[in-house]
Amino acid sequence: MAQRSREKKSNPFRLAFIDDKTHKHLVTFHFTRTTFFIAVVTVLVVLCAAIYSIIAFTPVRTFIPGYPDARSKRSAIQNAITIDSLENVIFRWELYSENLRRAVEGEEPLKIDSLIKATNRTNAENLDMAAIARQDSLLREHVKEEEQFGIADREHRNLPIEGLHFFTPLKGVVSQGYDQAMHPYIDITAPEGSVVKATLDGTVMFSGWSDEAGHTIQIQHEGDIVSIYKHNEKLLKKAGDRVTAGTPIAVVGNTGKLSTGEHLHFELWHKGQTVDPTLYIKF
C-alpha cells in the first residue's frame, strides 16, 4: 500500500499515444509537475536563446525598425558634415551683415577675412563685435581645418570613404551589379552620347586604348581612392590632367572586345581593394 502510494505520488501524470484502430500503446511518457515545469522552462530558454542568436548574429537584425545599418550610418556622417558646413556659412553671413550695417551707419567695419566658427554657439549672440574680432585673431590659424567640410574646398579633406560626397559618374540603369568574386565592378547602361563625369576630384593617371576595355580612363583621388571608366566612345581628358568632381571626362560607348552594348564599366578602388560603388553613389 505504501509502495503504491509512493509510485502514485512520483508519477501522477501519463501521456500516451495510442493507435486508434488496434488500441496499441505507441509511446508513453510519465512525468510529474516538477519535470513538466522543468521541461517547459528549458524549451522557453532554448527558444529565447535561438531567437537572440538569430537577431544578434545574422543580417535579420537590420529588419528591426530603427536599427542603424551601414547606409544609415553613412547618411548620418554626411548629414553631420553638411550641417557643420551650413553652420559655418550662416555664421559668416551674420558677420557680413554686421559689417554691412556698420558701413551704412558710418562705423569702422570689422576686419574679418576668414570664416569664424564660434566655439560656443549658445553664447555667440551675447558677444559684442570686439570680442568676435579678438576671437577671429585667435582662430585665424585654424580656418583651413574648419573649412575642410566645405563643399568647394576639397583639397584639404582627410575624411573616410564613408564621409566623402561622390558625384554620380553617369545617370543610368545598373545592368549588372557588384560581386566581389565574379564581377568586382558595375555596368551602367545609358543612351548613346551620354557624358561620363569624374566622381571625385583627382588627377588622370591613364587615358588611352585597351583591346579588351576600349577607351579607358583612370583617375587617382585623395584617400588612396581610384576610379576606372571603360568602354567609352571618346575620351575628353589626357593623362596628367587635373579634374574636379562632375567634370566631363568621356562619352559613353561600346568599345573593346568585352563590351556587349552601350554602357559604362565603372570600378571603384579603395586602398588596393575593389568596393561596391552603389554603397556610396546613387545611380
How many angstroms separate the CA atoms of 47 and 163, rounded? 40
The answer on 175 and 133 residing in a single domain is no
Average the pLDDT over 237-250 and give the result.
Answer: 94
Q: Would you say residue 148 has pLDDT above 60?
A: no
Domain count, the chain: 3
Q: What is the largest CA-CA distance in the chain?
A: 117
Clarify whether residues 9 and 51 are in a common domain. Answer: yes
Q: Do 253 and 224 lie in a common domain?
A: yes
Radius of gyration from C-alpha coordinates of the chain: 34
The answer to whether residues 265 and 190 belong to one domain is yes
pTM of the predicted model as reported, rounded to 2 decimal places: 0.47
pLDDT at position 55 over 90: no
Question: What angle is formed at CA 186 by the lines to CA 182 and CA 189, rounded to 5 degrees?
Answer: 130
Q: Give the three cell numbers for residue 249.
A: 571626362
Q: Is residue 102 domain-shared with residue 175, that is, in the same domain?
A: no
Does 152 map to a domain? yes
- 118 pLDDT more than 70: no
User: Is residue 281 within 8 Å of residue 197, measured between CB atoms?
Assistant: no
Any idea which residue has 568647394 for its cell?
Answer: 152
- Domain stops at, among 105, 128, 162: 162
The CATH code of the domain that includes 268 is: 2.70.70.10
For the segment 177-227, what is each residue's pLDDT rounded down to a tens digit? 999 889 999 999 999 889 999 999 999 999 999 999 999 999 999 989 999
Instruction: Verify that 187 and 233 share a domain, yes or no.
Output: yes
Q: Please name the residues in contact with 277: beta carbons below 8 A apart, sequence gap of 6 or more.
A: 166, 178, 185, 186, 266, 267, 268, 283
Q: Per the domain annotation, does 64 fall within a domain?
A: no
Bridge partners for 29 per DSSP: 15
- Do 93 and 52 belong to one domain? no
Nearest to 194 by CA among 236, 244, 228: 236
140 and 157 part of one domain? yes
CA-based torsion, 98, 102, 104, 105: positive or negative:
positive
Q: Which residues span the domain enclosing 28?
A: 2-57
Claim to verify: residue 189 and residue 108 sit in the same structural domain: no
